[in-house]
A and B are shown apart, each in its own frame.
Chain A
Amino acid sequence: MDKFTVLTAVAAPLPEENIDTDKIIPARFLKTTKRSGLGVHAFDSMRYRPDGTENPDFVLNQEPYRKAEILITYDNLGCGSSREHAPWALLDFGIRCVIAPSFADIFNNNCFKNGILPIALPREVCTQLMDDARQGANSRLTVDLARQVIIRPDGQEVPFDVDPLRKQLLLEGLDDIGQTLQHEKAITTFEQRRAQAQPWIPHIVLD
């Protein structure tokens, strides 16, 4: 996983609520056994017309947003399916930070696991940032994770909250399996205690 420290980038405004993970990456593209290569299908139904050509009205088909690394939407971004293909598709497109008033829980988790920073901010602040973003290439936003601020094009700083543990993992680009395995002794002790207290818990063994 790539580290996330300071990101200065073009932000794309997508002023919609309840953008579901089917919309971010439709199920027919989930047949891959890899994590990479999904960017071309990100937002497929919004990005392409039925004949396969680009829809010029869609923000990510417009300059400078083709190179957007920040995406700003309204409430409940990433609702629906748990598919991690959604953040994989965003990441493969180039998105490293998503900003919205709220995120669906699983999508929020999945972003952190892939080096994408989800930032929750009040709806009116998201609207302001979308206005900034609409000014195009000359109005990049800077996201400083260590300081937990977004720096607007006029220099104004917008503070945001982030879970301390997740912040640390993002800043260092760490895989959390390795971290959990440092607690392996505690896991083993837990298993032993449980096997004694609840010996009836069955093991799944097929004949």
Chain B
Amino acid sequence: MAPRTLFDKIWDSHVVETLPDSTAILYIDRHLVHEVTSPQAFEGLRLSGRRLRHPDATIAVVDHNVPTSDRTLPIEEADSRNQIETLERNVKEFGVPYFPLLSARQGIVHVVGPEQGISLPGMTIVCGDSHTSTHGAMGALAFGIGTSEVEHVMATQTILQKPAKNMKVVVEGQVGPGVTAKDIMLAIIGHIGTAGGTGHVIEFAGSAIRELDMAGRMTLCNMSIEAGARAGLVAPDETTFEYVRGRPFAPKGEAFDEAVAYWKTLASDEGAHYDRVVELRAEDITPVLTWGTSPETVIPVTGNVPDPAAEADPARRRQMQRMLDYMGLEAGQKIAGTPVDVVFIGSCTNSRIEDLRAAASIAAGRKVAPGVRAMIVPGSGIVKAQAEEEGLDKVFLEAGFEWREAGCSMCLGMNPDRLTPGQRCASTSNRNFEGRQGPGGRTHLLSPAMAAAAAVTGTLTDVRELI
């Protein structure tokens, strides 16, 4: 057999049947369900009298809509409450395992899956959410789907898809101080653009990737979608196996050893073909952030906001100028030193215990700058409990951060955590689109350490000055 990539191997092992036009009926191992993109799918099943084929391969959790304040209080927003109650009715009717709001295991679906050992290497994983790509860090083929496809998976445990192209992003070398997985990924997106990965699955490789812990790999794969890719992947290795070992839903004992033996066969073969290869040197990557309203508008924190006048294409020039106007920035200005109103540390990109530790290391012994609202939103109840066990909550609270309950929070502006028009936010989330964090809100994407640095200085700041 010709040498195959990690993607090829997972794909091949899940093809149920190939239709005449090369569309595959692809088997799905794990279906993650949340309250926002599922109600119409459950309704579709009900209307057509179809059953949900594998509740034992499905897990539901509430995350997008939930308030991150006191959980014992009723949910104030009526339509959010309705969506959550609708999910609760649906999981009951169709027998789907569910972590409810008050469960310690509730959290952001892309934090919960790996944390619980539900997402495992070699699997195919889907969810009605684009950031499903996160689970690719496990060495699983994981991608976001629309609600019609959610219904298709519920009814058939498969999806119709054509094979993606293979892309490899190689980062060799050792990153400098203050440079995290978030900086590596933003640098990649800045380099290839938000459509750079369209039609491809990106496999991340190279020594700088191998060095990353699982949380860092999840950050990378999470934002593969911001690079336009269908999914991101990191080959499972000892770091992966150690992470999986002992998780609640992972195989145990001999079954675990058998699984590891299989997982070890998944890495791309020597000489496997990639349709596109991009290489970056780790040493060239510095702490970065975004200046505009597209995740590809990445500059070093030491850099200046670009000038639209330098752009030749008139449509693009107009769009850059609109970004500057929306963001309240001037062409050519230094980005460092720009005052922020809000700091958000959380989201499926950066809300794991490792992220909170990185933020706490900057916050420790410092105070949130006057007039800045700084929020820490752990990715799950489990992350929150772990952080409290380590005393991170005290570090944050003493510094003047808010210590909140798990959920998507200010990443997407659909729960009570939102920016108000004109507010500038240093955010560890994944999208800086106009209005993403609330109408008129201005988002700068950056790492947890950089976000903490912005909180304590009150401005966008090079974190290296604080370490």
A and B associate in one complex: yes
Residues in chain A within 8 A of chain B (CB atoms): 15-18, 20, 22-23, 26-28, 30-35, 45, 50, 74-76, 79-84, 87, 102, 104-106, 109-110, 113-114, 163-165, 176-177, 180-181, 183-184, 186-187, 190-191, 194, 198-206
Q: Are A105 and B198 in contact (CB under 8 A)?
A: yes
Q: A22-B435, A113-B148 are in contact. Are A28 and B21 (CB under 8 A)?
A: no
> Whole-angstrom distance between the alpha carbons of A82 and B200 in the complex?
16
Contacts of B251 in A (CB 8 A): 200-202
Q: Are A27 and B83 in contact (CB under 8 A)?
A: no
Chain B residue nearest to A81 in the complex (CB) = B130
- A76–B16 CB distance below 8 A: no
- Decide if A114 touches B40 in the complex (CB within 8 Å): no
8 Å CB interface, B400-439 against A: 412-414, 421, 431, 433-436, 439
Chain B residues with CB under 8 Å of A15's CB are 315
Is B262 located at the chain interface by the 8 A CB criterion?
A: yes
Interfacial residues of chain B within 123-172, with CB under 8 A of chain A in the complex: 123, 128-130, 132, 143-149, 151-152, 155-158, 160, 162
CB-CB < 8 A to B149: which residues of A?
Answer: 109-110, 113
Q: What chain B residues lie within 8 Å of A199 (beta carbons)?
A: 255, 258
Given A26-B435, A27-B412, A205–B146 Cβ distance below 8 Å? no
Q: With A and B bound together, what is the CA distance between A81 and B433 in angstroms?
A: 11
Contacts of B440 in A (CB 8 A): 50
In the complex, which residues of chain A have a beta carbon less than 8 angstroms from the beta carbon of B315? 15-17, 74
Contact yes or no, A177 B155, CB < 8 A: yes
The minimal Cβ–Cβ distance linking B356 to chain A, given in whole angstroms, is 24
**B449 CB → nearest A CB, Å:** 26
Docked-complex contact B152 and A180, CB < 8 angstroms: yes
Give min CB distance, B302 to chain A, whole Å. 26
B91 CB → nearest A CB, Å: 10
A32 and B79 in contact, given A23-B433, A176-B152 (Cβ under 8 angstroms): yes
Query: Which 4 residue pairs spanning A and B have beta carbons closest together?
Result: A113-B148, A84-B146, A33-B39, A27-B414
Interface contact A31-B65, CB-CB below 8 Å: yes
Name the segment of B54-62, B203-211, B337-345 touching the other chain: B54-62
A76 to B227 Cα, complex, angstroms: 11
- In the complex, are the beta carbons of B56 and A204 less than 8 A apart? yes
Contact, CB under 8 Å: B156 / A181:
yes
Interfacial chain A residues near B98, Cβ < 8 Å? 206
Partner of B436, one of A22, A32, A184, A187: A22
Q: Are B65 and A50 in contact (CB under 8 A)?
A: no
Is B249 positioned at the interface, with any CB of A under 8 Å from its CB? yes
Which residue among A23, A106, A198, A204 has the maximum number of chain B CB atoms within 10 Å of its CB? A204
Q: Chain A residues near B97 (CB, 8 Å)?
A: 204-206
Q: A15-B315, A35-B40, A180-B160 are in contact. List 19 more A-B contacts (CB 8 A).
A: A23-B433, A27-B413, A30-B64, A31-B82, A50-B421, A76-B195, A79-B228, A80-B130, A81-B130, A82-B129, A82-B144, A102-B195, A110-B146, A180-B155, A181-B156, A187-B27, A199-B258, A202-B251, A204-B56
Contact A22 B421 (CB under 8 A): no
Q: Does B118 contact A (CB under 8 A)?
A: yes
Q: In the assembly, what is the distance between CA of A81 and CA of B226, in Å?
A: 9
Q: Which of B160, B198, B434 contacts A102 (CB 8 A)?
A: B198
Query: In the complex the two chains form, what is the Cα distance from A114 to B37 in whole Å?
Result: 15
- Find the B residue at minimum CB distance from A87: B146
Q: Does B86 interact with chain A (Cβ within 8 Å)?
A: yes
The answer to whether the Cβ of B230 comes within 8 Å of any Cβ in the partner chain is yes
With beta carbons under 8 angstroms apart, the residue of B56, B147, B225, B413 that contacts A205 is B56
The contact of B37 among A20, A22, A83, A164, by CB within 8 Å, is: A83
> A190 contacts B414, CB within 8 Å?
no
State whether the Cβ of B178 lies closer than 8 Å to any Cβ in chain A.
no
* Contact across chains for B148 and A180 when beta carbons are under 8 A apart: no
Q: Choose one: A113, A176, A198; the contact of B262 (CB below 8 Å).
A: A198
Interface positions of B from 79 to 112, Cβ below 8 Å from A: 79-80, 82-83, 86, 97-98
- Measured between beta carbons, the chain B residues less than 8 angstroms from A202 are 117, 120, 249-251, 255
Which residue of B is nearest A27, CB measured?
B414
Contacts of B258 in A (CB 8 A): 199-200
Complex interface: chain B residues within 8 A of A26 (CB) = 413, 435, 439
Bound CA span A184–B40, Å: 23
Complex contact B194–A76 (CB within 8 A): yes
Q: Which residues does chain A contribute within 8 Å of B145, judged by CB atoms?
A: 82, 106, 109
Q: Does B316 contact A (CB under 8 A)?
A: yes
The answer to whether B195 and A31 have CB atoms under 8 Å apart is no
If the complex has contacts A26-B435, A204-B56, are A177 and B151 also in contact, measured as CB distance less than 8 A? Answer: yes
Instruction: Indicate if the CB atoms of A23 and B129 lie closer than 8 Å.
Output: no
The distance in angstroms between the C-alpha atoms of A22 and B194, with both chains bound, is 15
Instruction: List A contacts of B130 (CB < 8 A).
Output: 80-82, 106
Nearest CB on A from B398, distance (A): 33
Q: List 11 A-B contacts (CB under 8 A).
A: A20-B431, A22-B431, A22-B436, A34-B39, A34-B40, A109-B146, A183-B17, A183-B25, A191-B157, A203-B57, A204-B97
Chain A minimum-CB-distance residue to B437: A27
Cross-chain contact B294 with A18 (CB below 8 angstroms): yes
Are A187 and B158 in touch, CB under 8 angstroms? yes
How far is B16's CA from A113's CA once the two chains are assembled, in angstroms? 21
Given A28-B414, A33-B83, A200-B255, A82 contacting B37 (CB threshold 8 A): yes
